[in-house]
Amino acid sequence: MATLRSWAPGGADKPFPASALRWSALLLVAASWVSGAIFGAYILAFFGGTAWQGLAARWNESLPALHDPATPLATAAIGAHFVAGGILLLLGPVQLIGRLRRALPAVHRWLGRVYVLCAGAAGLGGLAFILAKGTIGGPVMSGGFALYGLLMLVAAIATYRHARAGRTDRHRAWAIRLFALTVGSWLYRMEYGFWFMAVGRVGHSSDFSGWFDAIMCVFFYLPNLAVAELFIRARRPASRPALSVAATPVLLAASAFVMVATWFFTTRYWGPGMVSGFTGARL
């Protein structure tokens, strides 16, 4: 898998735009690591904990229509999606640590294999759920989420193929795209939470068929890919300094959003959800 340091300037002799890009990227990865780890722990604790206790029906307390005794295959598929997604959020930032890759390359490679397999499982699990049952939001939501699952599969396969072929630069680029996609489920909840705080439930309906719901069907992953592409292109040797200058504030703004959102969601939702998964208390 790719490393952040391999994308970043290595010394103080680098021009300011490159150094600023490096440090803003490091900040975003650090913030994402902490936030993703907390959210991944929440996913595993709540969804895994309730399933372990034979209370998988409580999944619907978090997101409606996830668990349905009438469609066991769909429930199993979405369960695999959640478990794989939780592992992805815990492992993803680890793969971006350059020192780990250089000190323990075998560990990096094996974690990379696990990461790619989990990405494939998450994508296939989500697609299987959609094919077996569909989503609560109907065709628009099903289409947007299906595209997300397909992109996950494409990015996972491309990341692995280029690594096996020794095409390091392409492998790194696709690994960054894959990481940008894997944080989508985490951002989906954050973005809804901030929207509700800002304007209430404008554009949202209980069956997720409102105009804001339609936007969110793709908004939780397409902007991530755009930021990833901006970073990838800004780090290319032939890129102009202006591209690094443009990318830096985008990364800083994303870091600020992640840090504020992490504090809010951990105290309001994820923390109580982890406790609920272990104790059985309702959300």
| Residue 152 near residue 175, CB atoms below 8 Å | no
The pLDDT tens digits for 197-252 are: 899 999 999 899 999 999 999 999 999 999 889 888 877 665 566 766 777 888 88
| Structure token pair of residue 103 | 């000190």
The secondary structure of the chain in percent helix, strand, coil, rounded to multiples of 5, reads 80, 0, 20
Please, is 13 exposed, middle or buried when counting C-beta atoms within 10 Å of its C-beta (0-12, 13-18, 19+)? exposed
- Would you mind telling me the total number of residues written for the chain in this entry? 283
| Structure token pair of residue 139 | 């065709």
Residue 79 belongs to what H/E stretch?
helix 72-91
Query: How is 192-241 classified by DSSP, letter by letter?
Result: HHHHHHHHTTTT--TTS-SHHHHHHHHHTTHHHHHHHHHHHHHTSTT--H
**DSSP summary character for residue 14:** S
Residue 22 belongs to what H/E stretch?
helix 16-43
**Domain spans in the chain, listed from the N-terminal domain onward:** 24-279
| Residue 183 near residue 92, CB atoms below 8 Å | yes
The pLDDT tens digits for 130-161 are: 999 899 899 999 999 999 999 999 999 999 99
pLDDT classification of 89: cutoffs 50, 70, 90: confident
CA 186/CA 194 separation, integer angstroms? 13
Residues 24-279, CATH architecture: Up-down Bundle (1.20)
